[in-house]
Structure 1
Amino acid sequence: MALFSPSFRLVFLWVALLLCGARSFADDLQAESLLKQGRVDEAAAMLNQILSAQPHDARAHQLLCRVYYSQDMADSAVRQCEQATSDDPSNSDHQMWLGRAYGLKASQANMLTAFAVAKKVHVAFEQAVQLNPANVQAMSDLGQFYVSAPGIVGGGVDKAQALVPKIMPRSPQKAHRLLAMIAKKKNDLSTAEAEYKFAIAIGKTPEAWVDLGLFYREQSQPEKAVAALESSVQANSARDAALVDAASILTDLHRRPEFTEKLLREYLASPSKTDAAPAFKVHLQLGDLLKQHGDTAGARREYAAAVALASNFGPARKAVQGA
């Protein structure tokens, strides 16, 4: 007599597969948490372990793409995101991250290569939107591409303008942000300023204030820029990546260094860290700020903290050697 009937064996196999999938999902979540904390060495080790057991785990490939992307390792990021889209071609987020990885590669390439890669950026972002028309971030990325890229690789403000009605019902703030970028591209600076202010009025988010601060910085209006950035910080109850954006603009303006240091430290202590502002890069940024103001010991500590999180990140390694 058989120990298990065929039907029982099928049920047992199904349960085992479910448990395996649950473990994989939990591991991906843990790896994503490590990535958001800036602990990219640990995230990479975990994701490579996952992929050694499940080489077609598309989510793990996307996360590993983001690990490399956060360290400005374009080629490795592209490989992983290409694998993610190959394993799960209907996933909009995978296509969006592939577009971002291609964008990073284009920014590091010579002009001839950059043009070829930029066409891939265009295709990936458009594919991301086609796969999920509700993916607001993908639409925002595509709109920004349309505004900034030349027509020969798929850019054009007319295309960006046509995207606005699709974004507006889902995210009026991002729609007005895109309208501001379009106006700025046309050198209609008064309309651009008004659109950035419309974006602020909708939600008064830290990101919208940062956009206005950046606009003022680019227009050589430092006092207005600082005021907008202060408003961003006041609105940022989560103490998220917008703190780092504000700190970066203040550093460029050579304004309020003590306040800038405070913002960077608050972000590093925050539970709201993400790979939008990787912690190891923020440690490096803080180290540079401290070094500029004569605190070499503090700078060394921050550089060491950066390397401890991302041992292969070249700028941090170079900073440690030069400290």
Structure 2
Amino acid sequence: MNKLLFLFLFPILIFSQSELNDVNDLFQKKQFVKAEQIIIEFLRSNPNNIKAIELLGDAYGHQKKWNEAIHQYKKLVNTQKNNANYHYKHGGALGMKALSVSKFKALGIIGDVKRAFLKAAELDKNHIDTRWALVELYMQLPGIIGGSKSKSLKYANELEALSKVDGYLAKGYIWEYDDEPELAEKYYKMAIAEGGSLTCFNKLTNFYKNQKQPQKAIKNIEATQQNHQRNALHYQIGKVAAEYNIQLEKGERCLHTYITNYSAKDGVPKAWAHYRLAQINTHKKNKSEALKYINLAINKLPEIDIFKKQRQNILNL
């Protein structure tokens, strides 16, 4: 159900009313509580504004307030019965709620999740996100409550008809989930050949990591770097090298490159690169260098427990 997390990332943010001019900026800044307050105030005088209701549901979703999000999306599907995206969002919020409660309670929700997604798929034959959600839902559900690989493959085929890249990625996901690594690798590679996006490369890298094939993971990250030239990929190589104790010299070089060229858009704080350097030097039994880097990491992010554990490991060398 991880795909469902992405349904809250792209809300409708355009409003003609001046009262909501700031909402777009608040979403971009991830200030969802403030956005929620503005929308609620707006809805007091405009209770039937469809866009505002949807945006309030999105704001709740970002905060993982699933019951509140479901309530807003339910309003939308009740008044806009033929809008596929509203059914999709309603199903997504229900699905996320199912993941957050006990298995017993989740059983009472799954039927509504399926109905919402199936309705969205019926209403919009081109709705890619809904078909992705159905691929994941049918794979993850136990057979006794409606899980089905054949149904999952059906929606993967529909995805492929709409977008070859999405279809190949969906089939890679299905075969990886079904413990058929050769078929999964095949389809992830087909996605790269077809689209070559960073997402495609990352899917294959994560597959290799999950399969405990770090050498292949590093090779694929290097191919990604050749195609996309992202500094963050230097960190990824260093991370794999540090975690699996392989290609340590290459990992060390990449981490230093990452630190030298670091900017906020790279995402992973430099402290984590220092932690990986400490790991690498621990593998190399270089205690003084390892301590130097772990101390740099702890100084920047003192609340991270794994850094403190690594420091103790180094002291025990």
Q: Counterpart in 2 of 1:273?
A: none
Query: Structure 2 CA distance, aligned partners of 1:250 and 1:176?
Result: 27
Deviates more, 1:164-173 or 1:226-235: 226-235
Any idea what SS the aligned residue of 1:60 has? Answer: helix
Q: 1:189 aligns with which of 178, 181, 192?
A: 181
Match of 1:23 in 2: 16
Deviation at 1:90, TM superposition (A): 1.9
Counterpart for residue 61 of structure 1: 53
- The amino acid across from 1:196 in the alignment is Y
Match of 1:228 in 2: 220
The alignment status of 1:209 with 2:201, answered yes or no, reads: yes
Q: CA deviation at 1:201?
A: 0.8
Gaps of 5+ in 2: 1-13, 245-250, 276-293, 304-317
What SS does structure 2 have at the residue aligned with 1:23? coil
* 1:36/1:165 CA distance change after superposition, 3 Å: same
Distance of 1:27 and 1:230 partners within structure 2: 48
Aligned counterparts, 1:1-323, within 5 A: 23-24=16-17, 31-229=23-221, 231-232=223-224, 235=227, 254=243, 259=258, 265-266=264-265, 286=269, 289=272, 293-294=294-295, 295=297, 298-299=300-301
- The separation in 1 between residues aligned to 2:270 and 2:38, in whole angstroms, is 28
* Alignment TM-score, normalising by the size of structure 2: 0.68
Distance (Å, rounded) in 1 between the aligned partners of 2:46 and 2:220: 47
Contact 2:95 2:110 in 1 (8 A): yes
Other-structure match for 1:321: none
Unaligned runs of at least 5 residues, structure 1: 1-20, 269-284, 302-323
Q: What displacement does 1:154 show?
A: 3.0
- Please list the CA deviations of residues 291-318 of structure 1 after superposition, one character each: whole Å capped at 9, or x if unmatched: 96554564489xxxxxxxxxxxxxxxxx
Question: C-alpha displacement at 1:111, in angstroms?
Answer: 1.0
Count of residue correspondences: 260
CA RMSD of aligned residues (A): 3.8
Residues 22-46 of structure 1 deviation map (CA, whole Å, 9 limit, x = unaligned): 624x766853453243222332222
Displacement of 1:75 in angstroms is: 2.2
Asked whether the equivalents of residues 32 and 63 of structure 1 are also in contact (C-alpha less than 8 Å), the reply is no
Paired position in structure 2 for 1:4: none
- Answer whether contact 1:180 1:194 (CA < 8 A) is retained: yes
Residue type of the alignment partner of 2:265: E
- Partners of 2:56 and 2:223 in 1: CA distance: 35
| Inter-CA distance 58–155: structure 2 relative to 1 (3 Å threshold) | farther
**Residue deviations 1:34-81 (CA, integer Å, cap 9, x gap):** 324322233222222232222222332222222222222222222222
Asked if structure 2 preserves the Cα contact closer than 8 Å seen for 1:56 and 1:87, the reply is: no
Change (3 A) 1:179 1:263: farther
Q: Match of 2:16, SS?
A: helix
**Corresponding letter in the other structure for 2:264:** R
Cα 1:59–1:205 change in 2 (3 A) is: same
User: Deviation at 1:267?
Assistant: 5.3
Q: Structure 1 CA distance, aligned partners of 2:125 and 2:158?
A: 8
The one of the two structures with greater contact order (alpha-carbon pairs below 8 A, sep at least 6) is 1
Q: Is the 8 A contact 1:81 1:94 kept in 2?
A: yes
Q: Distance in 2 between matches of 1:263 and 1:96?
A: 38
Q: 1:126 to 1:187 in 2, by over 3 A?
A: same
Report the 3-state secondary structure (helix = DSSP H, G, I; strand = E; otherwise coil) of the residue aligned with 2:161.
coil
Letter in 2 for 1:199: A
Residues 290 and 74 (structure 1 numbering): CA distance in 2 closer, same or farther, change over 3 Å? farther
Maintained 8 Å contact 2:131/2:156: no
Contact 1:290 1:296 in 2 (8 A): no
| CA-CA distance at 1:133 after TM superposition | 1.1
